[in-house]
Chain A
Amino acid sequence: MKIEGKFTMKAPIQETWDFLLAPGTLVSCIPGAEKMEAVDDKTWEGIVKQKVGPITIKLNFTQTLTELDPPRHVKAMGLGSAVGGAGTFTQETIVDIKEVAGGEVEVAYSSNVSLVGRLATFGERIMRAKVNKIGGQFIQNLQDKLESELGK
C-alpha cells in the first residue's frame, strides 16, 4: 500500500534537510510511537502502539536511515514486529527535497506500508483501511512538523 504526494513550503533547503535529519524528527512522526530511543545516529528503537477498534497492536519498532544523499534524498526503513507474534509491519519512506523558484522547497514523499503475518491475513477490509490511515497520518505529521518549524 503506497501513499505518495508532495507539498511546497517556504524554507531554505539546507535548513529543511537539517531539521528532517535532526535526531527524532522522523520517528516522532510515526503515529503511536512511544519511547523511541536512538541506538546510533541512523537507528532508533522503541514501541509503536496502534489501535483499530478493539484491537490493540504493540510493535517493537526499529527505524533505520538506509539512504542519505544530503540535502536532497533520504530513505528510511521501519520494521515493527508485533508483541505476541501477530505479525510484522514494514514501512519504507522516501523523502526527496528540491528547490523551486522563490526560495521555496518542494518536499516529495512516498510511503509504502506493508503487513506480514496474522495481522495481514485478518480482515483485509479493516487492515487496509487502517494501514492507509497510518501512512497518511505519518505524512501529515511530517508536513505539520516541517511547516510549523520552518515554514513560518
Chain B
Amino acid sequence: MINDFEHFTPKTLKEALALLAKYGDDCKVICGGQSLLILMRQGLVSPKYIVDIKGISELSYIKDDKDGVKIGATTTHRAVEKSAVIKKKYPVLAEMETRLASVQTRNWGTIGGNVCHGDPAGDPVPVLIALNATLTVAGARGTRSIPVENFSLDYFEVDLKDGELLAEITIPPPPPRTGAVYTKFNIIESDLATVSVAASVTLGAGDGVCQDVRIALGAVAPTAIRAKKAEKVLKGKKITDALLKEAGEVAATETEPISDIYASEEYRLELVKALVPRMTKEALARAKKA
C-alpha cells in the first residue's frame, strides 16, 4: 500500500532544487519511478513529499560536443538505446540498454534514475565506468563533477547529499582504436545480472599493445566496481590468452560477492574468472576493428 504524499512537478532544475532544499529528508525524487514505486508499494519507503522531475525537459537530452556525449539525467533508457549518436560512438551503451529489463521499463525509466538507485546489479553503471564517464551533480550551491566509478557508495547508496540531484552524464570521446563490450550473466535473458562485466580496451597505434584498459564488474560487491588490479595485468602489454586468464583470476580477488538465491559466492567468483577474459578478448577484437 502506498502512503499518501504530496506531489510536486517542478518545471525547471532550479525549481526542483529549491523543493529538495525545502523538504530535505522527508522527500524523495521520482522520475521514471520504476524502482521507487516498487519500494513504496511494499510500504518500505513512505515519503511525505515527492518531487517529480519527469517533466523537467531541460534534463532530457543527448548532446554530442567536443567534451564527449552528454546525456541529461531524465533521458529514458529507450532514448539512449535508440540514439544514433550513441549507437555510432558508444555502441556498447546502446547494446547494454537493449538488455535492460523490458521495453516497457525502458520507455518510462531513466538512465539517471538507474544510476542514482545504486543497485550493484544495475546495467548502466559498469558500462559507464568502462567508458570513463563523469557525472554532474547539481545542488543549491552549484554543480560538482564526480567520476561515475566513485558515485556508488554502498548497497543502494550513492554520493548524493541532501538537496542534490544528478543532472548529467558525460562520456568522453572514445580514443581511437578502442573497443568496448558488456555482458551480464543471468538465468533469464532480461533479468538483473548475477554477474556483469564491462570492458574497454584501447590499442596503441600500430603495435597492438594494450595502451589502456578499463574493466568494470557488477553484482559482485556492494557497488559496481572497477577491477583496477586486473587492468594493471594487461595495461602496456600485448594481450595474450595467458594474460587474460591471469586478469580474470586477479579480478576475482578484487570482488566481495555474497551468496544469494541466484548464485553462491564461489560461483560468482568463478563467473568473474570466466567472463573477464572472455569479455576483454571481445573488447580487444572490437578495438582491432575500430
A and B contact pairs by CB, cutoff 8 A, 13 listed:
A53-B155, A53-B157, A54-B36, A54-B156, A84-B43, A84-B46, A86-B42, A86-B43, A118-B44, A122-B42, A125-B262, A126-B155, A126-B156
Interface of B is mostly: loop
Asked if A53 meets B44 with Cβ closer than 8 Å, knowing A125-B260, A126-B156, A128-B260, the reply is no
The 10 closest A-B pairs by CB, nearest first: A53-B156, A55-B44, A122-B42, A54-B45, A53-B157, A129-B258, A129-B155, A125-B260, A55-B45, A128-B260
Q: How far is the CB of A64 from chain B (nearest CB, A)?
A: 27
What 1/0 mask marks residues of chain A from 35 to 58 whose CB sits below 8 Å from any chain B CB? 000000000000000011111110
- A54 to B222 CA separation, bound complex (whole angstroms): 15
B28 within 8 A of A: yes
A69 within 8 A of B: no
- Interface hub of B46, B117, B156 (most chain A Cβ within 10 A): B156
Which positions in A face B, CB cutoff 8 Å? 51-57, 84-86, 118-119, 122, 124-126, 128-130, 132-133
- How many inter-chain residue pairs (CB < 8 Å) link A and B? 51
List of A residues within 8 angstroms of B157 by Cβ: 51-53
List of B residues within 8 angstroms of A122 by Cβ: 39, 42, 44
- A151 to B118 CA separation, bound complex (whole angstroms): 39
B201 within 8 A of A: no
B261 within 8 A of A: yes
- A95 to B155 CA separation, bound complex (whole angstroms): 29
List of A residues within 8 angstroms of B258 by Cβ: 128-129, 132
B121 within 8 A of A: yes
Whether A54 pairs with B42 at a CB distance below 8 angstroms is no
List of B residues within 8 angstroms of A133 by Cβ: 155
